[in-house]
Amino acid sequence: MLRLSKYLKPYLLLILITIGLLFVQAMADLALPNYMSEIVNIGIQQGGIESSIPEAIRQSKMEHLTIFMTAEEKSSVLSNYSLIEPNSSLSLNYVEKYPVLKDEAIYVLNQITDEERTKISSTMGKSIMIVSTIEEAMIDPQKAAALAKLAGFDLSKLPVGMDIFSTLEKIPPAQLTQMTAAVNDKFAGMGDNMITQAAAGAVKAEYDALGLNTAKTQSNYILRIGGLMLLVTLVAALCTIAVGFLSARIGAGAARDIRHDLFRKVESFSKAEFDNFSTASLITRSTNDVTQVQMVIILLLRMVFYAPIIGVGAIIRAVDKSPSMTWIIGLGVVILLSMIGTVFTISLPKFKKIQSLIDRLNLVTRENLAGMMVIRSFNTQNFELNRFDKANTDLTNNMLFVNRVMIVLMPFMMLLMNGLSVLIIWVGANQVAKMTIQVGDMMAFLQYAIQVVFSFLMLSMMFIMLPRASVSGARIADVLEVEPTINDPKEPKQLDEKKKGFVEFRNVSFRYPNAEENVLCGISFIAKPGETTAIIGGTGSGKSTVINLIPRFFDVTEGAVLVDGVDVREVTQKDLRDSIGYIPQKGMLFSGTIESNLRYADEDVSEETLKKAADIAQATEFITTMEKGLQTEISQGGINVSGGQKQRLAIARALVKKPQIYIFDDALSALDFKTDSALRRALKKETGSSTMIIVTQRISTIKNAEQIVVLNEGEIVGKGTHTELMETCETYREIATSQLTREELS
């Protein structure tokens, strides 16, 4: 995969934007459990009371609270409140909000900083709880007994009707401090949040006494936090959509660029490179392998960057909610990673094997489709069916094994999630009972634990998918990193206009890559403009290899091939091939129309030229019999026309190009003798100034050629006209007499 990382550079800005959106999405997802916790803790349990510091408090109530404060605490608290007297000028601003102000003075909280609020929060909370406990004990004998046991202060001994707080003001400071300390010890293990929750009921009661609508306060809080949750959810949803769009765009764009370069690289391959990669494998690499890489790029952007953010953030927030339960998350992660590691170890070898099995399946399928007629003619359908079935079964079994292993993850993950949930609720319930954690915090911790486990699961899934993608990426990179053996020179020369059409072989030898022996040795001849040079020889004598050297499908091992007086290795491939009209033995046609196939040589050619080329190639006769003429559709590979028709259309396509050199690689073999003869006469008449190089097995086709080159086992064993060779070349004479009678040869 790293070898293909350069394809992500054009999308670096989009990747950075995607990562930024993922961070925003993660922060939004992490905020939701906290908001849920606040709704449960504050909105429901505390009645919407957010702080143990009342926004306003009656003067009489404040006096009760200050009894249980030190002088320093009392000074700090009162400095943050303003006393508002009834009927004062300031009371007009508050009397509507606090109706009790008509009859009683109140303290109103000033605008204070967060630091000052934190400083007096614990003091106010504990004092409110002490006062609230005493007030409840005055009306509940059981709570009075509990208070007496806790603080050593028995309310039952007070005279009926006596104000307890007046009495408390009069007791010795040492005794009051002792009693306060005893009550404070009860709340020593409580955090600030628990103190706020414990004091919330008393604060709410005070707001009721002030005349506030506490029910509205509660509903307003829940609606406000709920609205924030909806807003955060909307932000997360928009980020998810944006990330999905951008990751898909990046993945698709990178895949497009990879396919483009892959196809362009394959187009630059010579026949030597094609020998290293099968056609089926190249197709798989350009399709399935690129798709695998594209999918992993998308998942990398959507998971690999998101999972660490959400995982680390969830751990931090879970620890903040309840450090004592963090071990549960660690236990869940260890169990999950053990399971993932087991699955990874089992499935990794199978993932690596999948791509080669797909290659094999494509190869068998392609061979069956291409050779269907041969298969039917030999009645080997059952054999081919078994061959395909084996390739298909091997791939299926491999995929089934991987899927069976992978499918274990989902039920195991659900079991793990449910187990963690039960464990967190069980441990959390005990802590809630001990007042060391709030219910909402326990619920938030549960969600954070699930987010942590899911983040590890996402990363683990990526590590399982990466091996297959890395195999695909390596296969693609192997093709992209191939250095073609046929390259344009750094300082190309131009073909000599004065020698147009001259083709010369100077002592040429050729050996296929990695071969031990030459297949051509010391080949030398000249093909001149206006003449026909024929190459003939037995099967395997090197005829096709010779003509493949002219357009540089291969490069010579020794010697040189010159076109227009210039070594073909010293000109660009484009310039060289522009001067050549190549007609292969198998007339390859492309899907489209007859006209589009002819225009393949020159898109801008006139219709008159097309018709003339068809006339010369003896193709007009069958084209006119077709209903749509030149607009007749050609199926892929030209399977809806005969072999002879394909050859004639391929010849017509080369004629449209009007090159200086024509190369016929046994391109007349599918034509009958009459059509062959008519075609050669038309070619001689219309292309008389061009160089004609013909490879053939037919003596009748080349009998009138100005020069015939006879090959045998890669060497020239004869060169001259038909008449000369009949006298001087035994190999030629054997070929000729095996095809024609003495009268036909004379």
Residue owning tokens 């225009």: 599
Secondary structure element (H or E) that encloses residue 56, with its range: strand 56-58
What pLDDT does residue 707 have?
92
Mean predicted confidence (pLDDT) in 431-451: 85
Using CA atoms, how far apart are residues 345 and 354, in angstroms rounded to an integer? 16
Residue owning tokens 């097995």: 697
211 conformational bin, left if phi > 0, alpha if psi -120 to 50, beta if neither: left
* pLDDT tens for each residue of 53-94: 888 999 888 888 888 787 888 888 898 999 988 888 888 888
Lowest-pLDDT range of 453-462, 515-524, 539-548: 453-462
* pLDDT tens for each residue of 542-589: 888 898 899 888 889 899 999 988 998 999 988 888 888 888 877 788
What pLDDT does residue 324 have?
82
Q: Which residues contact 239 (CB under 8 A, 6 or more apart)?
A: 21, 22, 24, 25, 28
* Token pair of 665 as six digits: 């690689």
What pLDDT does residue 240 have?
92
Q: Over the chain, what is the mean pLDDT?
A: 83
Residue owning tokens 């608290």: 77
Residue 639 burial by Cβ neighbours in a 10 Å radius (0-12, 13-18, 19+): exposed
In the chain, residues under CATH classification 1.20.1560.10 are 264-480
pLDDT band for position 340 (cuts 50, 70, 90): confident
Reply yes or no on whether the pLDDT at 173 is more than 60: yes
Which segments of 435-548 does DSSP mark as H helices, in order? 439-480, 543-548
What pLDDT does residue 183 have?
56
What pLDDT does residue 200 have?
82
Q: What is 583-658's CATH topology?
A: Rossmann fold (3.40.50)
Reply yes or no on whether the pLDDT at 704 is more than 90: no
What pLDDT does residue 154 have?
55
Angle between helices 290-299 and 439-480 (to 10 degrees): 150
Reply yes or no on whether the pLDDT at 149 is more than 60: no
- For the chain, percent of residues with pLDDT exceeding 90: 13
Using CA atoms, how far apart are residues 286 and 277, in angstroms rounded to an integer? 12
What pLDDT does residue 185 have?
61
Using CA atoms, how far apart are residues 388 and 357, in angstroms rounded to an integer? 12
The more confident residue out of 688 and 269 is: 269
What pLDDT does residue 525 have?
92
Residue owning tokens 């699930």: 450
pLDDT band for position 509 (cuts 50, 70, 90): very high
Torsional sign, CA 38, 44, 45, 48? positive
- Geometric angle at alpha carbon 628, from 627 and 634, rounded to 5°: 105
Using CA atoms, how far apart are residues 633 and 596, in angstroms rounded to an integer? 9
Secondary structure element (H or E) that encloses residue 662, with its range: strand 661-665
128 in Cβ contact with 200 (< 8 Å): no
What pLDDT does residue 19 have?
92
Using CA atoms, how far apart are residues 693 and 691, in angstroms rounded to an integer? 7
In the chain, residues under CATH classification 3.40.50.300 are 494-579+661-666+692-746, 583-658
- For the chain, percent of residues with pLDDT exceeding 70: 91
The more confident residue out of 486 and 187 is: 486
Secondary structure element (H or E) that encloses residue 417, with its range: helix 409-433
Reply yes or no on whether the pLDDT at 137 is more than 70: no
* Token pair of 388 as six digits: 């395909």
Query: 264-480, superfamily in CATH?
Result: ABC transporter type 1, transmembrane domain (1.20.1560.10)
Q: Which residues contact 709 (CB under 8 A, 6 or more apart)?
A: 525, 533, 534, 535, 536, 716, 718, 719
Angle between helices 643-657 and 607-616 (to 10 degrees): 130
* Token pair of 605 as six digits: 């050619």
Query: 494-579+661-666+692-746, superfamily in CATH?
Result: P-loop containing nucleotide triphosphate hydrolases (3.40.50.300)
* Token pair of 382 as six digits: 């059952």
Q: Which residues contact 734 (CB under 8 A, 6 or more apart)?
A: none
* pLDDT tens for each residue of 246-292: 999 999 999 999 999 889 888 888 777 777 777 777 888 888 889 88
Reply yes or no on whether the pLDDT at 29 is more than 70: yes
